[in-house]
Amino acid sequence: MPAAPPTADTSPAHLLKIQEVAAETGLTTRAIRYYEELGLLEPAARSEGAYRLYDTSDLERLRYIKELRDEAGFSLAAIGQLLEDETARERNRERFRASHDPRERRAILEDARARVDRQIETLEAKATRLGTMIEAARDRRTHLDRHLAELDGGPDPHPDRKRAR
């Protein structure tokens, strides 16, 4: 076979070392290695001397993990569930997509879609609960505002600053 470039695919193989990835994502190198230990991701490649090398999809994945951790407050275990094998098997799928028949492709895509759907559901559930909490907090504020109004002397005090959302 004619010396195929190793996974020469879509990108110009712009790979980053772990420290660069850390700077880029705001994670520490330790955290990145730890996530790998937990099976949350695998570096796209290793150098000759076993240096971890990351591509852009790895970056995205790490940013996503960080978001799920920081913004959504999920545990790494939960994040593992959310990511499932998603991207882990995405590479396999890409190969499938490159060579096999449409029905296989379709199955793969639908599977991916189902996963995304589940992610969305989980996130929305969280958002809903958060929304409920925010509502409750707003109610408390309204309550306080009413008390303030009363205190200010009946029906027409000086309307501080109206705040409607």
DSSP for 37-66 reads: HTTS---SEE-TT--EEE-HHHHHHHHHHH
Under the criterion CB under 7 A, does residue 51 sit at the interface with DNA? yes
Among 20, 67, 85, 94, binds a second copy (CB under 8 A): 67
Site map 119..138 versus a second copy, x via CB under 8 A: xx--xx-xx-xxxxxx--xx
Under the criterion CB under 7 A, does residue 45 sit at the interface with DNA? no
Cβ partners under 8 Å of residue 55, min gap 6: 11, 13, 14, 15, 16, 44, 45
Euclidean distance between CA atoms 16 and 129, whole angstroms: 38
Interface with a second copy by CB under 8 A: which residues? Answer: 67-68, 71-74, 102, 105-106, 109-110, 112-113, 116-117, 119-120, 123-124, 126-127, 129-134, 137-138, 140-141, 144-145, 147-148, 151-152
